[in-house]
Amino acid sequence: MAHSTLPFLFMLNGKKILLGVTAGIAAYKAATLVRLLVKKGAEIKVIMTPDAQTFVSPQTLSVLSKNKVEVDFFTPDKVWNNHVHLALWADAFVIAPCTANTLAKMATGLCDNLLMSVYLSARCKVYVAPAMDVDMYQHPTAKNNIQKIISYGNIVIPPENGELASGLHGEGRMAEPENIVSFLEKEFENHGSFKGKKVLISAGPTYEEIDPVRFIGNRSSGKMGIAIANAFAHEGADVTLVLGPTHLAPNSAVKCIRVESSNEMYANCTEAFKTSDIAIMSAAVADYKAADYSSQKIKKKEDTFQINLTKTTDILAELGKQKKQQCLVGFALETENVIEYATKKIKAKNLDFIIANSLQDKGAGFATDTNKISIIDKGDKVFDYDLKSKEEVAKDILNFTLNYLKK
């Protein structure tokens, strides 16, 4: 069954939206975006980088927004432009299109234009719609910069796949103005919907020590769980993330407890679970650990070598036994019979629902930026979702949880 999207009427009515336009070809779409936002009843002010004016005229955006467009630190008669005032005025700051250059500045805090100084002064939520050519978007620096700005609490409106100005095809096109508008409507709809709720998330792999230099681990990056933690914190929840070894980090609104082994993860999860309202266990916990830890490095001897393994504690199943008021959610990463195996785990671990993904689906699973999930509830109803960025998947999970708790 496909999961339907609810209409979000009037969500933008009366909202003050600051639109930042940077110098990419998609800047011409800013005119449509302003028009659509105004039609929804939002009040719009526009800031442009100086070069953005070569792609769309400030006059066009001024007419459509019914407001003055700001570009420079000084007005033509040399009066200082109060950027702090603009940053405090807005309910949301949307940077669309956001070029690779502005993205890099946002990641490092470089402040050489009015738009960047407003960004650095903003207290409202900042939404970023990247727009760049496919290879630029695939470049490791762009990927890292996107992760960095997410970790600072910004929200990325993922680019779309399609024909690019260069004639190439691929990911990098700015999200269509209509899609940016519906993204913002959903944001305002859910705003603060988890305020006062305590949410526990587990994420990442675990490392089970064999000797001082070796361990049993897996390829999990923790990306999916971190995105879920960020999404709940974004909606006002008090989030504790118990995170296995990874170089990634959640944004600063999330309380992050870094752990190495399944034992440490278990101890921290059971403690936090007692006072949690919702717990989502997305960690790829090692199922087995060495039965005996060798305090000295194991030396190479025979051609074959056996390590005795013993089961780790199933953290999720233990939480299922301790469950009282909490909504408990698990993940199931499978390579075959996905729905069947995942459904069995709901009962075996006493879950409210489970999020299944298959390693067979292209773009799903470990260390990718995207995921494709199905959510299965206690009544065995299956909700299938499309392949999306992990940030969008996190939002789907958040919305599903919200609807589940309302029932």
Q: What are the residues binding ligand CTP (CB under 6 A)?
A: 202, 262, 281-283, 285, 287, 312, 314-316, 330-333, 345
Q: How far is the CB of 324 from ligand CTP (least distance, A)?
A: 18
Question: Which CA distances in Å does 312 have to 111, 219, 287, 349?
Answer: 49, 18, 5, 15
Closest CB to ligand CTP among 175 and 315?
Answer: 315
What number of other Cβ atoms are within 10 A of residue 92's Cβ?
21
Closest CB to ligand CTP among 72 and 340?
Answer: 340
For 356-401, give the DSSP string: EEETTSTT-STT-SEE-EEEEETT--EEE---EEHHHHHHHHHHHH
Q: How far is the CB of 195 from ligand CTP (least distance, A)?
A: 26
Closest CB to ligand CTP among 160 and 377?
Answer: 377
Strand partners, 280: 201, 329
Closest CB to ligand CTP among 83 and 372?
Answer: 372
Is residue 5 helix, strand or coil? Answer: coil
Tokens 């392949």 locate to: 387
Q: How far is the CB of 349 from ligand CTP (least distance, A)?
A: 7
Contacts of residue 374, Cβ cutoff 8 Å, sequence gap at least 6: 338, 339, 342, 355, 356, 357, 382, 383, 384, 385
Q: How far is the CB of 311 from ligand CTP (least distance, A)?
A: 8
Q: How far is the CB of 313 from ligand CTP (least distance, A)?
A: 6
CA-CA distance, 6 to 3, in Å (whole number)?
10
Q: How far is the CB of 327 from ligand CTP (least distance, A)?
A: 14
Strand partners, 44: 17
Closest CB to ligand CTP among 131 and 315?
Answer: 315
Q: Write the secondary structure of 50-115 as one string of H (helix), E (strand) and C (coil).
A: HHHHHCCCHHHHHHHHCCCEECCCECCCCCECCHHHHHHHCCEEEEEEECHHHHHHHHHCCCCCHH
Catalytic site positions: 218
CA 330 to the chain's CA centroid: 18
Confirm if 269 and 283 have CB atoms less than 8 A apart: no
First to last CA, the chain: 19
Closest CB to ligand CTP among 29 and 345?
Answer: 345
Closest CB to ligand CTP among 190 and 371?
Answer: 371
Of 33, 42, 32, give the one whose Cα is nearest residue 11. 42
Confirm if 320 and 349 have CB atoms less than 8 A apart: yes
